[in-house]
Structures are given as C-alpha cells and as structure tokens.
Amino acid sequence: MFKKIITPFEVMKAPHNMALIAFWLVAVIGFWYLSTTGQKHLLPSPQSVLTGLGEEYQEGLVPHIMSSLSLCAQATFWALLVSLPLAYLSTLPLFRPVIQGISKFRYLPLTGITFYLATSPLISSGRAMQVGVLVIFMSVYFVTSLLSVIADIPEEEFDHARSLKMNRWEVLWHVIIRGRIDYAIEILRQNLAIVWMMLVTVESIVMSAGGLGTIIKNADRYANHGRIFAAQLVILLIGILLDYLLSELRYSFPYVNRTQK
Amino acid sequence: MKHEYKLGGTVLLVDNVSVTIGDKPIIENVTMEEHDVIRDGHNQGQMIAVVGRSGRGKSTLFKAITGLRKPTKGRILIPSDEANKPIEVKEGDVGFVDQKYTLFRHLTLYNQLKLAAQKGSTPESEIHGRVMELLSKWGLEKAKDQYPGHCSGGQRQRAAILSQILSSGYFLVLDEPFSGLDVGNVEDVKSMLRLVNASHELSTIIFSTHDIELAVELADKIYVIGFPSEDKQIGTIVSAFDLKTLGLAWQSYGKEHIDLVHDIKKKILAS
Ligand SMILES: Nc1ncnc2c1ncn2[C@@H]1O[C@H](COP(=O)(O)OP(=O)(O)OP(=O)(O)O)[C@@H](O)[C@H]1O
Ligand SMILES: [Mg+2]
C-alpha cells in the first residue's frame, strides 16, 4: 500500500483516493492549528478567521461578492465579444498581423493601463474603468490561447471539411468555431484564474465600486489578519466554484470525453 | 482464365505532376492515366493501388489528386459532366479518406452523413432516407447517434468513406485504408471497397497500402512510387503493373499473384 502511493503513474481505487484527500485535508487543518499556537503566529488562528468572516458578513460580504461576480461577468462578456471574433478573423491574412500583435500586449504592465484609464476623460465611472482594464487583459490572454488552439488543429480536419466541398467560411465555421467551442470554454476556465486574481487588484484600486477587493483593502488597512485571511478564503472558494461550473459546462457537450485533456 | 475487358474514356489523367513543399521537392514528374474498364455483364469500376516505402510521397500525391494541394507543375484532369471535356480537379470533386479517418468531432455519425449529403447531389427531400439506407447497409445503424470520439476505428472509417461517397460520388481516394485494422476489419474494408467499386460503372478507387499481397489481390492496376536513384530523393512512379493485361485482375489469388508480389517488393526495395 505504502509502496503504491509513492509509485509514479500508479492508479488508485476511488475509495483510496478519497482517503488520501481526507488525509491531506486533516493535515492542512492540523498544520493550521499547530502553526497558530505559539507566540509568533505564522497564520491567523482559525478562531480569528471565523470572527473576521462574521464581521465581514455583517458589513455586507454578500453584496460585495455579488458586485465582484457582476464585474467578472461584465468583463467576461465584453472580453469574449472582442476576442472570439478577433481569433476567428486571425485566419484571414488581412487581419493576421494585427491579431498576432494584440497577443503580444500581454507583456504590457497592468498599472500603466489602469492609471491611463483612471485619468481618461472618456471613462466616467470607477466601474467602467474596472471593466475596461479587465476586458483589455482578458482579451489579450484569451486571443493568445485561442490562436494556439487554432494552430494546433490537425491539417486533416481542414482537409476533411474541404474534401466535402465546403467553402472556406464553412470550414471556419465547422472546424474552428463549432468544432472547438469546448476548447474556447476551457481557455475561458484557465484564464479566469488570472482574471479573478486581477479583479481583486483592480477593485482595490478603485474602491468606490465595492467588491471583494474592497474588503481585503479594508481589512488590510487595520492589519486585521483574521479578516484578510477570511476574505482570501472566500475569494478562493468562489474562484474554485467558477472553475468547477465552467468545467461542467465544457463537459456538457456530448462529444467531450471526461478523460480528454 | 483471362477475363475479357475493353477500355473506355479516361477517368483520371495525372499529367507530369510535381509537388514542391516550401522549397523541398516531394514528388516529381508523376504521370498516371486511367481508363474506364468495361466488362460485359459487370458494373466494373477501377481499383488502383499505390505502393512504395514510407516518405516516398504517396500521401502527397493523393492530396494533389483530390485537389487539396495544387501541383507545383503539371495538371490533374478528371471527366466533367460534358463528354470529352475533362476538367482540372478541384477540392471536393474527388473523395478523400485520410489515414486517421478524420470526421467532424462535434457531429453524430448521422449528422456527419447528412451534412455530407447536403454537399452532394442528393435532393434535400431524399437525404434522410438515403443516409439511413447507407447507415444500415454499412452496419452503422446502432452507432448513428454516436460522436466520432466514441466510435471504434472501423466505424469511423466507414462513416468517413460514406461521407465522401455522399458528397463526391464514386471517385474515392483512400490513404492507407488497411493500416491498423484487425483481420476481420481488413475483410470488411475489402468487401466495402468491392461494394463501392461494383456500384457504379465509373467508380474509381485509388488506395495506398504497405500490404503488397492485399494490393495484388484487390487492384487491377498497381503503381510503385519511389526514389529513382540513391542521389535523387524525390518520389516518382518507378514502375506500374497492369493486372488486367497480365490476366491477374478479378481472379482468385494464386501462384502468379504470389510471383507478382515478389516482383513488386523487389521494385519497392530498390527505390
Ligand atoms: N506539409 C509538409 N511539409 C514539409 N514536408 C512534407 C509535408 N508533407 C509531407 N512532407 C514530406 O514529403 C515526403 C513524403 O511524405 P508523404 O507523407 O507523402 O509520404 P508517404 O509516402 O505517404 O509516406 P507514409 O508511407 O509514411 O505515409 C516526406 O519526406 C515528408 O517529410
Ligand atoms: Mg502517407
């Protein structure tokens, strides 16, 4: 048994895997308790985190969560609206240079854009500025990943569509757009992690619009570790939930195998 | 016994074709001419095999014949609707089944065939009936609502062949249709190809294979593609065997077939 769990690529039975997960959960929580017992704490104690969570709840944690989710949804919506057509248009020679150029913008620093948008007379509200920053970043990563999905499609798939007398637009539709929609969702899922993290940062820059970032920033101000920790945990759990929902959405396509990466 | 046959019009002319990819010449001066084979009392199509060692350009030649890759030099002609007016092949004119039996991953087998039929000559009102008929004739009825990712290799291959038949008609190019199949599947594919071949007078099937026995058993013409010499590593036709003139076509496999296999293998090894 012990030998098995330290053998590379060894496949375990489901109950054994559950036991391993339980073991690690207990270990992490145990470590947390232990690390908060001494004089100098590495982490805030579970009690202080719970208290922090309670206080945050009283101060409107749920509306803040809703505000963050709505910001995330708006940014995702606009980013998809921008990047999907851009990626699909990258198959046209006319647009290829521009779109490949856009993908390079992921090396642009966040702060500069945020600063620019915050001072731009075109952007009226704090919320609009937050959406703007996130859309720019999401689109840039999204386009990059989509370009690589398109580049990875085997030539045979294009040949198959062409051999069925499809014109180029139909090939684009069947092979790239419909044929890779589940990949687009997977990319969204992977990039959401970056966006979710960035969202908190953006929210803590413009605090007026509320959101989870505001909560962290507030807790930070009073150096209340329990509250910071509680807010972090909430953000983490919501992030994991979003991740789970998107992966379920992807598997809801009947032709996607669960084992497939 | 040697079977009587006559030759009709040209069904395929590969006229001095060269293909260069990037600046690397892959095949050069390939010429093939195929005629309609006419036998009394038979709906006789043509069955052509292309053999040769790996990397000699079989797949490249097939992409040119199916119009998927334009030859750098030369032309490829097929008959058009008008008599004596051959046209240059373009993508979609000739069916192509690649070695991986590629299908659309997001469509069920039924929907694949329906889409293919909409691209072909079947009138809209008859598509459902025709697709269902083919599905059951080829043993795919039970799998009709499955996606390619959940089908066996054999099922995918049959669906890929049917897609091409529905969209392009009876001129089919198959790249290594026998590779990776078990003994039973090989027999299935053989009878499928014979079925397609006998279904239409102008039916023409071109396939590549590394199984020379199988090529000799099925084909009535065999081309060997290889390098002409040690220092010229560009694929071209190095020999052609017409099993019809040799009296070996449409016969049961015998001693003379075995001898021919031997000859062909020698040619392949030398190129
Ligand atoms: N898209 C491509 N770009 C560059 N070289 C290519 C391309 N396609 C094929 N080639 C080269 O052309 C040569 C012939 O390839 P091809 O696939 O036609 O051979 P083949 O006879 O079908 O081989 P096999 O029996 O292994 O399938 C090979 O050297 C291959 O590397
Ligand atoms: Mg090949």
B1-89+206-271: CATH homologous superfamily? P-loop containing nucleotide triphosphate hydrolases (3.40.50.300)
Give A-chain residues touching B168 at CB under 8 angstroms: 163-165
Asked if residue A52 and residue A17 are part of one domain, the reply reads no
Global pTM reads 0.87
Q: Kind of pairing, strands B46-51 and B204-208?
A: parallel
Which residues make up the environment of ion ligand 2, defined by Cβ < 5 Å? B 58-59
Asked if residue A20 and residue A70 are part of one domain, the reply reads no
Residue A56 inside a domain? The answer is yes
Q: What is the per-residue pLDDT across B17-48, written as a single tens digit (0 to 9) for each?
A: 999 999 999 999 999 999 998 888 888 889 99
pLDDT at position A261, please?
A: 44
Residue A11 inside a domain? The answer is yes
Please list the ranges in chain A whose pLDDT falls under 50: 261
Q: What is the per-residue pLDDT across B103-141, written as a single tens digit (0 to 9) for each?
A: 999 999 999 999 999 998 889 999 999 999 999 988 999
Query: B83 vs B5, B91, B167, CA distance in Å?
Result: 21, 21, 22
Residue nearest to atom 6 of ligand 1 (CA): B21
Give A-chain residues touching B91 at CB under 8 angstroms: 162-163, 165
Asked if residue A129 and residue A6 are part of one domain, the reply reads no
Distance B42 CA to ligand 2 centre (A): 32
Quick one: which of B139, B134, B159 has its CA closest to B149?
B159
Q: Which amino acid is at A42?
A: L
The residue segments making up the domain with residue A18 are: 2-34
Asked if residue A127 and residue A239 are part of one domain, the reply reads yes
Asked if residue A90 and residue A13 are part of one domain, the reply reads no
Asked if residue A28 and residue A60 are part of one domain, the reply reads no
| For the ranges A226-235, B175-184, B217-226, the one whose mean pLDDT is highest | B217-226
DSSP result, B46-82: EEEEEE--TTSSHHHHHHHHTTSS--SEEEEEE--SS
Percent of chain A with pLDDT over 90: 49
Which residues does residue B47 pair with via DSSP β-bridges, in sequence order?
A: B205
DSSP B250: T
B217, pLDDT greater than 60: yes
Q: Where are the alpha helices (DSSP H) in chain B?
A: 58-65, 109-119, 127-137, 153-168, 183-198, 212-218, 255-269
SS3 sequence of B196-226: HHHCCCCCEEEEECCCHHHHHHHCCEEEEEE
Interface of A with B (CB under 8 A): 154, 156-157, 159-166, 174-175, 178-179, 181, 253-257, 260
Quick one: average pLDDT of B227-238? 90
Q: Kind of pairing, strands B24-38 and B73-78?
A: unpaired
**Cβ of residue B91 closer than 8 Å to a chain A Cβ:** yes
Residue nearest to atom 31 of ligand 1 (CA): B55
Helices (H) and strands (E) in chain A, counts: 12, 0
Q: What is the per-residue pLDDT across B71-84, written as a single tens digit (0 to 9) for each?
A: 999 999 998 887 77
Determine the Cα–Cα distance for residues A37 and B255; give it in Å rounded to an integer.
90
Residue A40 inside a domain? The answer is no
Residue A58 inside a domain? The answer is yes
Total number of domains constituting chain A: 2
Residue nearest to atom 18 of ligand 1 (CA): B57
3-class DSSP state for residue A165? coil
Quick one: average pLDDT of B177-186? 87
Asked if residue A191 and residue A164 are part of one domain, the reply reads yes
Asked if residue A132 and residue A81 are part of one domain, the reply reads yes
pLDDT at position A220, please?
A: 79
Give B-chain residues touching A256 at CB under 8 angstroms: 149
pLDDT at position B168, please?
A: 87
* b/e per residue A178-200 (b: at least 16 CB within 10 A): ebbebbbbbbbbebbeebbebbb
> Is B56's C-beta closer than 6 angstroms to any atom of ligand 1?
yes
Determine the Cα–Cα distance for residues B45 and B19; give it in Å rounded to an integer.
28
Give A-chain residues touching B149 at CB under 8 angstroms: 255-257, 260
Quick one: which of A65, A64, A213, A60 has its CA closest to A134?
A213
> Is B179's C-beta closer than 6 angstroms to any atom of ligand 1?
no
pLDDT band at B1 (very low <50, low <70, confident <90, very high): low
Residue A217 inside a domain? The answer is yes
- For A165, nearest residue in chain B (alpha carbons): B92
Query: A177 vs A37, A88, A102, CA distance in Å?
Result: 55, 7, 20
pLDDT at position B14, please?
A: 96
Distance B207 CA to ligand 2 centre (A): 11
CA atoms within 13 A on the CB side of A35: 10
